[in-house]
Every structure is written in C-alpha cells, then in structure tokens.
C-alpha cells in the first residue's frame, strides 16, 4: 500500500499532468520526498524504497521535460511537524515505554545537526520558490531541508 501511495500515485498524477504542461511549454513538478529518499534507515524498507523510486521518477521527468519548459525536483525534508509525525511520536513512545520528548530528542533528532522538527511552512516556502521564475534553472535535483542530517 505504501508504494502505491508514495510512488505509484505521483507517477499517475505526473503522467496525466505532463501533456498539459507540455502544451503550455511551462510546468513545475515538485515531489515531496524525504531525507529517506537519500539515506536509508532500519525498519523503513517500504518507505525508503518508495522515496528512492520517487527520486528516480523526478529525475526522469526532469530530463524528459527540459526541452518543453518543465522542471522536476524533489524536496527532501527530515521529520516535519505534521499530524502524521505527531502520531508517530506518540506511537513510538508507547511502543518503547519512553516519553514523547525522548522519542523526538533521542530518535528523531539523533541525526540532524539542528535539533528541531521542520515546520510545514518551511517546506511550503521551498516549494513556492521552485515555482518562481528565479528557480527556472533548477531541475533534476533534490533540495535537502534536513537540518544537516545528510552531512554525516
């Protein structure tokens, strides 16, 4: 199920949207990947596989769309403060018999140099920038917003 939602669904959406983007000679494909699209973590095989696949899909779209005015990129955040992550924090705390604060500090923030969750607005601002004229030469890349996780 995870692969269908995180890889197959973006593939199908992009496949339907590209002809319209090509017709107007302009388009922006922005995939929300993850730090796990670039790094693996134990016990996350389906998630990591889906995000690595999304990275590849985004690069293919960048190559195919380049001559037609379409860019394609991935945004790669670490843990973003969303309801899903808040639920994961509570579930991990219960599963391991530790506090939610310990889940955040000792598990989720173990890798990033900046010790905080990313706010959704930070991801949204990066996506908005990718749609701006100033970002027209950015394509086929992964923009990491991970607080320094991937610097290790």
Domain definitions of the chain by residue range? 2-77+118-143
pLDDT digits (tens, 9 = 90+) for 118-144: 999 999 999 999 999 999 999 999 999
Among all residues, which ones are annotated catalytic? Answer: 47
| CATH 3.40.50.720 assigned to 2-77+118-143 | yes
Mean of the per-residue pLDDT values of the chain: 97
pTM for this model (two decimals): 0.94
Given a contact cutoff of 8 angstroms between Cβ atoms, the answer to whether 13 and 30 are in contact is: no
Q: Where are the alpha helices (DSSP H) in 5-147?
A: 9-24, 45-65, 83-96, 100-102, 120-131
């Amino acid at each position: 199920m995870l692969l269908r939602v995180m890889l197959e669904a973006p593939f199908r959406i992009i496949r339907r949207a590209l002809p319209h983007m090509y017709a107007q000679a302009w388009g922006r494909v922005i995939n929300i990947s993850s730090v796990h699209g670039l790094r693996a973590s134990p016990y996350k095989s389906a998630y990591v596989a889906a995000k690595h696949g999304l990275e590849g899909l985004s690069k293919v779209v960048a190559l195919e769309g380049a001559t037609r005015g379409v860019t394609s990129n991935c945004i790669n955040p670490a843990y973003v403060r969303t309801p899903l992550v808040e639920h994961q924090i509570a579930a991990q705390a219960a599963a391991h018999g530790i506090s939610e604060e310990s889940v955040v500090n000792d598990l989720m923030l173990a890798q990033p140099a900046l010790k905080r969750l990313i706010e959704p607005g930070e991801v949204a601002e990066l996506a908005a920038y990718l749609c701006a004229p100033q970002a027209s030469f950015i394509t086929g890349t992964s923009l990491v917003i991970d607080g320094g996780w991937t610097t290790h």
